Amino acid sequence: MKITYDPRYNIAYIYLQEKTAQVETIQVSEEMNVDIAPDGTIYGIELLNANQQLGADEQGKLIVVNEALGESAEIKLLLQK
């Protein structure tokens, strides 16, 4: 799995697997699109207004926690001026 984030547009994309086929994009809400293959496999999820969708804190950081290992990492989500 891979997550990309573009702070210029505040959009994140969660890649669940690499696209190997043509996908159909389904709009789940005004802030979420899902890419699905013809066999129903979900390839990825696009999050608009990503800071809010990913639950960034007030300082614009996303904290990713690996609960199995007890490790965490911070990712800055705000565009620096």
The β-bridge partners of 61 are: 76
Query: For position 80, what pLDDT does the model report?
Result: 47
Q: What secondary structure letter does DSSP report for 38?
A: T
Q: What is the pLDDT of residues 70-80, one digit of tens each?
A: 888 887 766 54
Query: For position 57, what pLDDT does the model report?
Result: 58
Strands 61-66, 71-76: pairing kind: antiparallel
Rounded to two decimals, what is the model's pTM?
Answer: 0.72
Q: What is the pLDDT of residues 6-60, one digit of tens each?
A: 888 889 899 998 877 788 999 999 999 999 988 888 999 999 988 777 765 566 6
